[in-house]
Chain A
């Protein structure tokens, strides 16, 4: 019996690979994404090229694109949203790095308990945490009412660019610590000991060994924050104001063009496709930094 089974495997395994049908496995998930992800984005692209292209044969026009690229309003708004996202991502990575470093390299015994403590807020409701800040920063909220009750001037933090940066930073901080922790955790401590044996100070060992080896995690963390923040509209609509200097973002402009006031789907589609293009370029440019082996080999 055992001899028989041992004799079978090779041809049998080959046959099995053919028996399991790849299209059968991939058909549904890929089909779903084509119907409800790629086609919808295609329709937005069609709208950006002219009103109701999908409904009636209408000449393709680049007028909306032309207007968009020549109107400084939207491009300026995009630029200020880009800056805001950059500030949030850099701040969050800078704060998360020492937290991850402490967990991964301090030799603390309860490292996974502490990690869970750090990440748990991220796994609770995003919306409720934003709403918590909306209450806290509010005009008659805890901070301002506390300040006036002790005789200080209230800060009126809500509906400002600062509020948007603070709340987005708060939202992303736990999540960002994770990829940095993973890259530091997988670091070979022998390398640090070798650096120390070669008379490197701790700072030198950090600058020459730890930091370069953790860069893939840092880049991943940065992208995880930067890309969603670039298209953010929920947080700014709750704690931001109505102009770019008070935290109104590009994503809010897209939402407004589709939902509020006077909808202009063509312009909204142009804004959306432009944002998608920028995100795609960022992904292509940065994806090479995300491959750990490449960076380690440099």
Chain B
């Protein structure tokens, strides 16, 4: 006898699980359907197949500029967050020091601050210091909110790395930087890549904080929200949404497959 589930219970749960998956993917499927629909309005009945909306967004310079701006913001902030995250994780995992728990609480606290509160806080900081708003003011905020995610991804991996390997490197007269470069970093690389991807995608998609400190800079999320105010943009926005969601789903699956392989290989070695 299975102690966790009866046979009927399992059937019921399988149906429930299938329904949940349908619920989760249905909105994405609806977007896909209407991205090919030959009508300005996303409504039934469907009025024929078209690639017009994809063609329009590919030639829409506003969308492209917004995508490029977001890519810049995400690249800068994810590199920054991963670099700070590596430093902080090494300290938290490898070092014993006083006040470790308040310091790790501080490092993780951006996880729980409401983004609207953080957004206005940054706005008031820039206002007080008289800093003009732009790409960098968004990057600063995104580094803060993605830093805890990088630490949460890097720490467990760093804990698995055997300290003896680092000590062996010191014994062979490697200095701190060399030890990190040739021993620690290659061993935590899968986690570094995961951390980078999480930080990049979070920043690329972030609207709440960016909306307070963007000035006249238009990131992709900010473009999307403003495009929604004018209905004739809607079909193009749907098409671009389909492309972005598809790419991010592919990246997620590829990253997961790659991470599993890399970790399996490291564990086998």
Contacts and interface: CB of A to CB of B under 8 A. Distances in A.
Contacts of A144: 43
A210 B128 contact: no
Interface string B235-258: 001100100110011001100100
Contacts of B48: none
A13 B112 CA distance: 38
B16 A29 contact: no
Contacts of B24: 118, 121, 170, 173-174
Given A41-B121, A231-B116, A99 B205 contact: no
Interface stretch (A63-71, A72-80, A156-164, A191-199): A191-199
B224 A121 contact: no
Given A36-B144, A142-B30, A44 B248 contact: no
A29 B27 contact: no
Interface string B126-162: 0010000000000011011001000000000000000
A222 interface: no
B1 A196 contact: yes
A135 B4 contact: no
A287 B8 CA distance: 37
A255 B23 CA distance: 31
B252 A20 contact: no
B51 interface: no
Nearest to B5: A106
A103 B118 CA distance: 36
Contact of B245 (A9, A55, A128, A146): A128
Interface in A85-120: 95, 98-99, 101-103, 105-107, 114, 116-118, 120
A47 interface: yes
B43 A99 contact: no
Contacts of A47: 124
A138 B117 contact: no
Nearest to A184: B4
Interface string A226-242: 01101111100010000
Nearest to B16: A98
A16 B241 CA distance: 52
Interface string B24-64: 11011011001000000111110000000000000000000
Interface in A175-227: 189, 192-193, 195-196, 202, 205, 210, 227
Given A44-B124, A102-B14, A170-B27, A227 B117 contact: no
B68 interface: no
Given A32-B147, A98-B13, A99-B17, A40 B3 contact: no
Nearest to B120: A258
Contact of B31 (A98, A107, A135, A192): A135
Contacts of A134: 228
Given A29-B107, A43-B128, A272 B116 contact: yes
Contacts of A41: 113, 117-118, 121
Interface of B: 1-6, 9-10, 13-14, 16-17, 20-21, 23-25, 27-28, 30-31, 34, 41-45, 83-85, 87-88, 90-91, 94-97, 103, 106-107, 109-110, 112-118, 120-125, 128, 140-141, 143-144, 147, 167, 170-171, 176, 201, 204-205, 207-208, 211-212, 221, 224-225, 228, 234, 237-238, 241, 244-245, 248-249, 252-253, 256
23 contacts: A25-B91, A33-B109, A33-B110, A33-B147, A36-B122, A41-B117, A43-B125, A99-B16, A105-B4, A118-B21, A120-B249, A121-B24, A124-B244, A128-B224, A128-B244, A132-B28, A134-B228, A135-B238, A145-B44, A149-B44, A174-B24, A228-B114, A231-B115
